[in-house]
């Protein structure tokens, strides 16, 4: 799943739903789980490790020098990534480590084990076996088998930025008419013959481009802004009315772009002095007040996304689209990262505190995005539908990340 993020200058909003807040658990009792951890650790050999200030991410809350049981050995040396450096730390540095509902993250981790990165392949057997373990057992295993590294920029800054994305759910029709006039296209037959392909404005207006796309529409939407949301998020769910009147749910997934540069419509509004609120709710409010300027807004972003249709059965509907790692995303537990800072498939401890949501939790690096660049940068997958979209449209706050690497 390849997506972009609207660049904004920040906005206030109500607190996010408690559905994605961490659940509270009692402190660990490691003595009760030592046997399980020892047994699992004996089953496989761990692979060898491979080599901005927002001010609102939570800081460690434990006294200096405190250590979790089993985390008392010497620390390994730092690790280098192309866009970041990783500083080894004690587990006690991770905010909220004793309180996260780890079973929620375990679902995302098991998904990641469908296409594991080489350093984590040897751990996937344990991950699957621990899917029915208690949080205490899961935590004890993590301490025994993984080493946390604080992710930093090369200038030493550990502070970064968290935004969010989601999978829109939109009504659509298989045939145009009755108000459904905005197409979602498959890749054109001539794709690849021209690089870059036509701009968004040219696609919407030039007869020769319209001819090249004839018969390539997957479905038709009623609102061009909904189409723009799909283009920015990179995928979505369609509640589609077929030609015979039946209705079914399908997914449209990212297939390619016209290779034009991405420009944020929110940034365009800010630069034009047309709004001070470039979140999605703010953009929609401006559109409602200025319907005659919708095309001007849309055409400010020359990038255009083409899709492919995917079936959406009951099992698939419980997960998000496939991310760049090649596995289905899990709401609240999958993030998009800069892969030159954090490799796909890496379990990550995420800490972020702000007006939208308080997060101290285990997540998996399973996706990327064209605007997700830098050492301490993440896009948080919130799920699908209206509530997920409201949070994704407003979330922009401080961030700290710890990569969890095999010992």
What is the rounded CA–CA span in Å between residue 394 and residue 165? Answer: 10
Please give the average per-residue pLDDT across 266-282, as a whole number: 90
pTM comes to: 0.78
Q: What are the tokens at 49?
A: 């490790």
Q: What is the pLDDT of residues 344-370, one digit of tens each?
A: 999 999 999 998 899 999 999 999 988
- At a CB cut-off of 8 Å and minimum separation 6, what does 7 contact? 264, 266, 267, 278, 371
pLDDT band at 279 (very low <50, low <70, confident <90, very high): confident
pLDDT-derived band at 49, boundaries 50, 70, 90: very low
Percentage above 70 pLDDT, the chain:
84
**Separation CA 152–CA 156 (nearest Å):** 6
Query: What's the pLDDT score for residue 3?
Result: 63
Average pLDDT, the chain: 86
pLDDT at 321: 93
Name residue 353's beta-bridge partners: 358
Q: Is 70 helix (H, G, I), strand (E, B) or coil?
A: coil
* Tens-digit pLDDT profile for residues 57-108: 454 444 444 578 889 889 999 999 999 999 999 999 999 999 999 999 999 9
Angle between helices 102-112 and 135-145 (to 10 degrees): 50
pLDDT at 394 over 80: yes
pLDDT exceeds cutoff 60 at 30: no
Q: What pLDDT band is residue 50 in, cutting at 50, 70 and 90? A: very low
Q: Give the mean pLDDT of 304-326.
A: 92
* Tens of pLDDT, residues 108-160: 999 999 999 999 999 999 999 999 999 999 999 999 999 999 999 999 999 99
């Amino acid at each position: 799943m390849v997506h972009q993020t609207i660049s904004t200058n920040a906005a206030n909003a109500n607190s996010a739903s408690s559905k994605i807040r961490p659940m509270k658990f009692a402190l660990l009792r490691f003595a009760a789980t030592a046997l399980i951890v020892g047994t699992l650790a004996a089953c496989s050999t761990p692979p060898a490790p491979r080599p901005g200030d927002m001010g609102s991410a939570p800081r460690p809350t434990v006294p200096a020098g405190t250590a979790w049981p089993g985390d008392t050995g010497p620390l390994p040396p730092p690790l280098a990534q192309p866009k970041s450096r990783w500083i080894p730390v004690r587990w006690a540095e991770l905010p909220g480590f004793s309180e996260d509902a780890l079973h929620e993250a375990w679902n995302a981790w098991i998904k990641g084990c469908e296409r594991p990165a080489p350093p984590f392949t040897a751990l996937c057997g344990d991950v699957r076996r621990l899917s029915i373990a208690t949080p205490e057992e899961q935590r004890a295993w993590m301490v025994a088998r993984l080493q946390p590294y604080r992710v930093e920029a090369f200038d030493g800054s550990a502070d970064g930025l968290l935004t969010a994305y989601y999978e829109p759910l939109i009504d659509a029709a298989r045939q145009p008419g009755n108000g459904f006039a905005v197409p979602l296209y498959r890749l054109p037959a001539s794709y690849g013959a021209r690089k870059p392909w036509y701009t968004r404005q040219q696609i919407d207006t030039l007869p020769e481009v319209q001819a090249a796309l004839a018969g390539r529409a997957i479905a038709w939407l009623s609102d061009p802004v909904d189409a723009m949301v799909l283009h920015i998020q990179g995928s979505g769910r369609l509640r589609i009315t077929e030609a015979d009147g039946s209705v079914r749910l399908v997914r449209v997934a990212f297939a390619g772009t016209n290779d034009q540069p991405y420009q944020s419509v929110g940034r365009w509004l800010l630069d034009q002095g047309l709004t001070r609120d470039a979140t999605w709710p703010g953009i929609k409010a401006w559109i409602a007040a200025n319907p005659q300027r919708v095309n001007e807004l849309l055409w400010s972003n020359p990038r255009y996304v083409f899709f492919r249709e995917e079936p959406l059965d009951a099992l698939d509907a419980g997960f998000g689209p496939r991310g760049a790692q090649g596995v289905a995303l899990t709401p609240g537990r999958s993030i998009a990262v800069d892969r030159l800072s954090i490799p796909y498939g890496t379990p990550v401890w995420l800490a972020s505190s702000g007006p939208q949501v308080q997060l101290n939790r285990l997540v998996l690096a399973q996706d990327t995005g064209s605007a997700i660049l830098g050492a301490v940068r993440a896009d948080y997958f919130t799920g699908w539908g209206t509530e997920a979209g409201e949070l994704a449209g407003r979330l922009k706050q401080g961030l700290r990340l710890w990569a969890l690497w095999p010992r």
